[in-house]
Structure 1
Amino acid sequence: MTTWKTFLSALVEPVPNNRPPLAGAQRAWVRALPFVVVLAMMGALLPTGIVALTRFYGVNGGLAAALATVQAGALALALIRPLTAWQLVAPSVLVGAIVTHGEAATQAWPWPVTTLLSYLFLMVFLAIRERGRTLLAVWAVTFVGNSLSWSVFADYFDGTSVVVTALSGVILLLGWSLRGRGEARRLLAAQEQISETERARRTLLEERARIARELHDVVAHHMSVIAVQADSAPYRIEGLPEPAVDEFGQIATAARGSLTEMRRLLGVLRAAETEADKAPQPGLADLPGLLATVAQAGVRAELDLADDVRKLDPVPQAVGLSAYRIVQEALANVVRHAPGATARVRVAAADGALTVDVENDPAPGRAPAVETSASTGHGLTGMRERVRLLAGTLDTGPTADGGYRVAAVLPIDRPATAVDAAPGENTA
């Protein structure tokens, strides 16, 4: 019983999609092509069907016109509802077979040529739109109908039924296979897009976690200093009143509590880290060593540390760390994408901000790019996150001579917030 319900539902429940074939094409003439083909088929089959049924099969003119109109006109409906069109054509084929039976023994029966062409053309629309079980049910009805006509009217039966059965099966199977392949490719493309989005999101979260770890080291240092100074204040400063001593004690207690919470957070962030990740965080003073490391990879880098930067005493640790990481990522990109090129790193200070500029020449000759396992393909994401955190600006892009430039401005004097960073950030 369940099998019959499934079979019948396949014949009466079309796919809920009313878009015509090629509706998603970009070119207008491609979208119009199915309508032009259907119009041409209708213009050819409608008058031809009427003439064939009346002249060669002796069918009444009104009935012949009705049958030809249903069979040819159903092709227009097939553009958006092919199963509904088949539901109209199938009874018309049966009626046509009944009224033409015995009228012309020398003509094709039960499939006049016009009916055969309309039916096979309708199979094309079914194959590219309906589900596999619907296609199987349609072919089964076609096969059973042709088999019954052969069994009951063997004297009038000819090879057209075999042709229709075979060709309809081939068309439905081929269309179903091609459509399945197309759907698989679309699903694969969609999955790749989702995977790329997830990779970008994961990279962003990893970079944010890395920045949080590094900021912990910066903030924890200052909180430790606050705690020590608050604890030692009563011993270093003579004559402090009792309320001041209590106030210093409360400050020390709050600082130690904050350090405890930060250590808990750090334990979560560094759960999977190696010991190397827990080393002291670098700053501007470590740039010469960074450039020496890059030189070993074949990229000659020149450092220009302006005098006004040397006079800063000291550069805020968060700013120095971010400047170091930006230079590190920019030079890593040079190693990967422009091996053998010369890079220039300039760090300057002006108007209360630290400017970091990394520019490289194009790779000489046809040197192949260096692939590194540590590359995530989202290095600029980390740069933008650091700059955003400090309420600075970032400008990246190719230069006129084919090289690449990364320029960042990191404020020194004013506090950074993510809200302030959003409108000022330039991610070009």
Structure 2
Amino acid sequence: MKEKEEVQPPTPRSGAPERTSGARAQELLRSFGTALATPAGPGEPLLARASSRWLRWLPYGVALALVAALLPVTVTVLVHEYHVNGAVAGALATAQTVPLLLAVTRPLQAWWVIMVADVLGGFVLLGSEYHELPWPWTPMVVVGYLFLMLALGLRESRRALVGVWLVTGAAGAVFELVSPGRPGDGVIVLLFVLSGIVLLVTATLRGRGEAERRLVEQETISEAERARRTLLEERARIARELHDVVAHHMSVITVQADSAPYRIPDLPDAAREEFASIASGARESLAEMRRLLAVLRSEGTEGERAPQPGLDRLQQLVEATVRAGVPAELSLAADLGEVPQAVDLSAYRIVQEALSNVVRHAPGAETRVSVRGDGEGWLNVLVVNGPTAERTSPLEGGSGTGHGLVGMRERVRLTGGSLDTGPLPDGGFRVAARLPLTNP
């Protein structure tokens, strides 16, 4: 049976304002920032883990646009401004721009190709007579190189990034030694500084994304461990409570076996020995159960030695809830007959946890408790509360004797019943349990 009912979302009013384009733009910017801070794995394209398909295709679009813009401009500038041979200019422009497409998935390999092409281009331009033009890096080289630094910063390790930056500075230093004091070579310092800034910013974003990812993973693991610990604690508590139920039956068996020779006249000796063996086995089982209970019982639980409650104490429980400020009423069928002790205890605990949740999460809400048989061997337990006017915390956990809905599920599973819990359309909450009145 489902654990929670689906609640239809409220229909928006006709006059409710729709999201503006500014809000959509802000949401898109936040998604883009999250995608930048999320590191891509080896072989994955940049922004491959973005939630939006548009963002996942963005690196390809930017790389393609850069190649389409830089390739013809580089050829034109090299031929007309630097007077480089057309074939050489075409080869250099292709080697300096086309590998930008590879940078989306393999930025380090793309950097090796582009770096070699840029260095060769610098030596080609060394013979140019137009010393007032930027050298050895043309403006197109600077633009493409910065995009490449962005891709590297979002993918490669810090050691690789430092190596790339130092190689960039070393290449510029070599050109400075080859042609010292050449006008227009301030672009060497410019590229070195800008590439360092881009690498630093992108590496910082990547480090932040990795830290957030590890934090989310740790929180997920911690939440799973908390849920597992809660489940184990509740099972141990149920086992301690059921000790009294089982111990009662074992005590009855012991007494009946011990008293059988006195109650039954002319009992054969073989039967007397059999009853004595049954009584001895029952006493040994009781001793083993006491040792098991000592293992399950934690410190400070001596109060649990008191007799376990049942349906006969529901009226007192409801009256205590009313005194706590919750208008509750009880409907308890009088013709339930003999209820198994495990079901009797589980039904009481389910009502107790449900009322505890009402007190905590819906103070002042009208509550109805119904316990009755269906005539087919099942006990139906229903606790329904109405909405509360006060703002409350989400329902889970409970502040009663167990762990809220977790304890209810475990008790129902133990007895072979079923549980249906969930919110109601009017803002209330329902807990419906179905427990067998016959032993499985």
Question: Do they fold alike, i.e. is TM over 0.5?
Answer: yes
Identify if the C-alpha distance between structure 1 residues 89 and 412 changes in structure 2 by more than 3 Å, giving closer, same or farther.
Answer: same
Task: Provide the residue aligned with 2:15 in structure 1.
Answer: none
For 1:319 and 1:373, locate their aligned partners in 2 and report how far apart those are by CA, in whole Å. Answer: 21
Deviation, 1:367, is 5.5
Deviation, 1:62, is 2.1
For 1:255 and 1:143, locate their aligned partners in 2 and report how far apart those are by CA, in whole Å. Answer: 87
Task: Provide the residue aligned with 1:266 in structure 2.
Answer: 293
Identify if the C-alpha distance between structure 1 residues 378 and 357 changes in structure 2 by more than 3 Å, giving closer, same or farther.
Answer: same
Identify if the C-alpha distance between structure 1 residues 45 and 68 changes in structure 2 by more than 3 Å, giving closer, same or farther.
Answer: same
- The 5 Å alignment of 1:241-256 reads 241-256=268-283
Deviation, 1:307, is 2.1
- Contact 2:412–2:435 (CA under 8 A) maintained in structure 1: yes
Identify if the C-alpha distance between structure 1 residues 150 and 330 changes in structure 2 by more than 3 Å, giving closer, same or farther.
Answer: same
Deviation, 1:373, is 9.0
- Contact 2:353–2:401 (CA under 8 A) maintained in structure 1: no
- The 5 Å alignment of 1:12-23 reads 17-23=42-48
Q: Whose relative contact order is higher, 1 or 2, with alpha carbons under 8 Å and at least 6 apart? A: 2
For 2:182 and 2:174, locate their aligned partners in 1 and report how far apart those are by CA, in whole Å. Answer: 12
Task: Provide the residue aligned with 2:426 in structure 1.
Answer: 401
Greater alpha carbon shift after TM alignment, 271-280 vs 141-150: 271-280
Identify if the C-alpha distance between structure 1 residues 376 and 32 changes in structure 2 by more than 3 Å, giving closer, same or farther.
Answer: farther
What is the identity, as a one-letter code, of the residue corresponding to 1:301?
A: A
For 1:65 and 1:332, locate their aligned partners in 2 and report how far apart those are by CA, in whole Å. Answer: 79
Task: Provide the residue aligned with 1:348 in structure 2.
Answer: 372
Question: What residue ranges of structure 1 are gaps of 5+ in the alignment?
Answer: 1-14, 416-428
Query: What secondary structure is seen at the aligned counterpart in 2 of 1:356?
Result: strand
Deviation, 1:83, is 0.5
Task: Provide the residue aligned with 2:193 in structure 1.
Answer: 166
Query: What secondary structure is seen at the aligned counterpart in 2 of 1:410?
Result: strand
- Contact 1:387–1:408 (CA under 8 A) maintained in structure 2: yes
- Contact 2:362–2:390 (CA under 8 A) maintained in structure 1: no
Task: Provide the residue aligned with 1:9 in structure 2.
Answer: none
Query: What secondary structure is seen at the aligned counterpart in 1 of 2:335?
Result: helix
Q: Over aligned residue pairs, what C-alpha RMSD do you find?
A: 2.0
Task: Provide the residue aligned with 1:304 in structure 2.
Answer: 331
Q: How many residue pairs are counted as aligned between the two chains?
A: 397
For 2:178 and 2:350, locate their aligned partners in 1 and report how far apart those are by CA, in whole Å. Answer: 85
Task: Provide the residue aligned with 1:338 in structure 2.
Answer: 362
Query: What secondary structure is seen at the aligned counterpart in 2 of 1:308?
Result: coil
What is the identity, as a one-letter code, of the residue corresponding to 1:173?
A: L
Deviation, 1:238, is 2.1
Question: What residue ranges of structure 2 are gaps of 5+ in the alignment?
Answer: 1-39
Deviation, 1:160, is 0.3
1:231-261 CA distance string (max 9 Å, x none): 2211222211011011111111221221122
For 1:136 and 1:126, locate their aligned partners in 2 and report how far apart those are by CA, in whole Å. Answer: 11
What is the identity, as a one-letter code, of the residue corresponding to 1:68?
A: A
**Does residue 1:77 correspond to 2:99, yes or no?**
no
1:379 to 404, 409, 412: 404
**Does residue 1:285 correspond to 2:312, yes or no?**
yes
What is the identity, as a one-letter code, of the residue corresponding to 2:48?
A: A
Deviation, 1:94, is 1.3
1:308-329 CA distance string (max 9 Å, x none): 12xx1x3211011000010011
Task: Provide the residue aligned with 1:106 in structure 2.
Answer: 132
What is the identity, as a one-letter code, of the residue corresponding to 2:430?
A: R
Task: Provide the residue aligned with 1:7 in structure 2.
Answer: none
1:34-80 CA distance string (max 9 Å, x none): 11111110000111111122222232222221221122111100000
What is the identity, as a one-letter code, of the residue corresponding to 1:207?
A: E
Task: Provide the residue aligned with 1:426 in structure 2.
Answer: none
- The 5 Å alignment of 1:74-223 reads 74-103=99-128, 104-156=130-182, 158-223=185-250
- Contact 1:339–1:367 (CA under 8 A) maintained in structure 2: no
Q: TM-score, normalised by structure 1?
A: 0.88
Aligned sequence identity (%)? 55
1:341-375 CA distance string (max 9 Å, x none): 11111110131111111111111x33555999947
Deviation, 1:93, is 1.4
- The 5 Å alignment of 1:361-380 reads 361-363=386-388, 365-366=389-390, 368=392, 374=399, 379-380=404-405
Identify if the C-alpha distance between structure 1 residues 189 and 218 changes in structure 2 by more than 3 Å, giving closer, same or farther.
Answer: same
- Contact 1:299–1:342 (CA under 8 A) maintained in structure 2: yes
For 1:65 and 1:270, locate their aligned partners in 2 and report how far apart those are by CA, in whole Å. Answer: 83
For 2:347 and 2:402, locate their aligned partners in 1 and report how far apart those are by CA, in whole Å. Answer: 20
- Contact 2:409–2:419 (CA under 8 A) maintained in structure 1: yes
Deviation, 1:110, is 0.8
For 1:263 and 1:414, locate their aligned partners in 2 and report how far apart those are by CA, in whole Å. Answer: 24
Query: What secondary structure is seen at the aligned counterpart in 2 of 1:129?
Result: coil
Deviation, 1:296, is 2.8
2:340 to 313, 316, 331: 316
What is the identity, as a one-letter code, of the residue corresponding to 1:142?
A: T
For 1:57 and 1:370, locate their aligned partners in 2 and report how far apart those are by CA, in whole Å. Answer: 70
1:225 to 236, 252, 261: 252
What is the identity, as a one-letter code, of the residue corresponding to 2:350?
A: I
